[in-house]
């Protein structure tokens, strides 16, 4: 078997094992949450018999390991369960499937993530390459100072600063990104501008600095020194020699930050009241809607693992030692 194929298979198996471990952590963490859904719905005045009957109806009276395996079996079949939010003590069941609740929210989150990535990734690569090309110049120092400031600033603070300047003092964009499915594409972009700008400022800083560091590290390689001794221009050295060999670490950084776009949007969605999956998860935790919390957490973990696997595979297939084994 070719070394690349063998290594990729090993990474995929490791990813599946990691997802299994993460599912255990998610289920165990939710089990440790304080409070009880039955008591939260029925109130403190409910009798113990009523709470017990209500928990039996929801299946919460079963052992934890039984509910875990039932949940995993359902997830494998594409069934994430039924939301608890529509349950009532009166016996009227207005609950909805978790998939039906997540699907529109997931579409909104992916819309915000794609919109941000289309701006942030090219901008970060451009800044990383140009700062490496003009290292130690005023341009390099200004960009590095700005990115360091952005990295050191929490996302919610960046969001509030943008709201202050672009929604309060100068009413350029709306402060609340309450998009709906019936809106036009242009209206969605307009209302999602401030959340997207917040995420862009955060991830551009990380990707730009890692891109710059990867290229500068390669510039100290012997083959780069040889190219310079031959009289090759600095721009050609970076674009033709350093950049192709820096794709593996750059791809890893991009994958990490794209994972953050989907996983780390919770704070941004809450600040801007953006109807995404992060806001849905926060609401589900508040109401103790266990199936929704589990599905959202598993989606975040799966997205992070998959994007990291993609980064690993890109790094593997661009490794000359694996491409041309002896």
CATH number at residue 220: 1.10.3720.10
Looking at the domain assignment, is residue 143 inside a domain? yes
Last residue of a domain, one of 256, 272, 287: 287
- Asked if residue 136 and residue 269 are part of one domain, the reply reads yes
- Asked if residue 266 and residue 222 are part of one domain, the reply reads yes
Looking at the domain assignment, is residue 253 inside a domain? yes
- Asked if residue 215 and residue 150 are part of one domain, the reply reads yes
- Asked if residue 115 and residue 212 are part of one domain, the reply reads yes
Element of type H or E holding 246: none
194: Cβ–Cβ under 8 A, 6 or more apart, which residues? 159, 162, 163, 166, 167, 173, 174, 175, 177, 272
> How confident is the chain (326 residues) per 10-residue block, as mean pLDDT?
74 86 86 68 68 73 82 84 63 67 87 89 88 87 89 86 88 84 86 90 86 80 77 74 72 78 81 87 81 87 84 71 57
Looking at the domain assignment, is residue 244 inside a domain? yes
Last residue of a domain, one of 59, 76, 93: 76
Looking at the domain assignment, is residue 295 inside a domain? no
Looking at the domain assignment, is residue 308 inside a domain? no
Looking at the domain assignment, is residue 112 inside a domain? yes
d(CA 22, CA 30): 12
Distances (CA, A) of 292 to 118, 253, 271, 282: 29, 30, 21, 10
pLDDT of residue 142: 92
- Asked if residue 231 and residue 140 are part of one domain, the reply reads yes
pLDDT of residue 89: 45
CA 187 to chain centre: 24
CA 64 to chain centre: 29
- Asked if residue 158 and residue 237 are part of one domain, the reply reads yes
- Asked if residue 41 and residue 124 are part of one domain, the reply reads no
Domains: count for the chain: 2
- Asked if residue 200 and residue 68 are part of one domain, the reply reads no
Looking at the domain assignment, is residue 119 inside a domain? yes
Q: Are 267 and 156 in contact (CB under 8 A)?
A: yes
d(CA 68, CA 61): 13
pLDDT of residue 43: 63
- Asked if residue 49 and residue 145 are part of one domain, the reply reads no
Ranges assigned E (strand) in the chain: none
- Asked if residue 206 and residue 137 are part of one domain, the reply reads yes
- Asked if residue 261 and residue 139 are part of one domain, the reply reads yes
DSSP class of 23: H
- Asked if residue 113 and residue 252 are part of one domain, the reply reads yes
Last residue of a domain, one of 25, 60, 76: 76
Q: Are 251 and 182 in contact (CB under 8 A)?
A: no
Residue numbers of the domain that contains 247: 103-287
Looking at the domain assignment, is residue 118 inside a domain? yes
243: Cβ–Cβ under 8 A, 6 or more apart, which residues? 129, 215
Instruction: Return the SS3 of 269.
Output: helix
């Amino acid at each position: 078997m070719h070394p690349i194929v063998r290594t990729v298979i090993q990474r995929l198996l490791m990813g599946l094992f990691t997802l299994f471990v993460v599912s255990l952590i998610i289920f165990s963490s939710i089990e440790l949450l304080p409070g009880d859904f039955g008591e939260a719905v029925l109130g403190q005045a409910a009798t113990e018999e009523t709470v017990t009957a209500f928990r039996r109806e929801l299946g919460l009276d079963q052992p934890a390991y039984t509910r875990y395996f039932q949940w995993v079996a359902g997830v494998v079949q594409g069934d994430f369960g039924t939301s608890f939010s529509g349950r009532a003590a009166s016996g009227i069941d207005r609950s909805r499937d978790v998939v039906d609740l997540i699907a529109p929210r997931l579409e909104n989150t992916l819309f915000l993530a794609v919109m941000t990535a289309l701006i942030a990734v090219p901008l970060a690569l451009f800044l990383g390459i140009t700062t490496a090309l003009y290292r130690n110049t005023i341009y390099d120092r200004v960009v590095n100072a700005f990115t360091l400031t952005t990295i050191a600033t929490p996302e919610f603070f960046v969001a509030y600063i943008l709201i202050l300047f672009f929604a309060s003092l100068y009413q350029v964009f709306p402060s609340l990104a309450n998009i709906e499915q019936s809106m036009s594409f242009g209206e969605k972009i307009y209302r999602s501008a401030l959340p997207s700008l917040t995420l862009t400022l955060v991830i551009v800083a990380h990707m730009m600095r890692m891109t710059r560091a990867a290229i500068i590290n390669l510039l100290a390689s012997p083959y780069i020194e040889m190219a310079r001794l031959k009289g090759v221009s600095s721009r050609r050295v970076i674009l033709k020699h350093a950049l192709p060999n820096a794709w593996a670490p750059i791809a890893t950084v991009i994958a990490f930050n794209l994972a953050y776009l989907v996983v780390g949007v919770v704070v941004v969605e809450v600040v801007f009241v953006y109807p995404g999956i992060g806001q849905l998860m926060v609401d589900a935790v508040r109401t103790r809607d266990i199936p929704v919390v589990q599905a959202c957490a598993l989606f975040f973990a799966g997205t992070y693992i998959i994007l990291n696997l993609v980064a690993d595979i890109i790094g593997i297939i661009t490794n000359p030692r694996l491409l041309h084994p002896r």
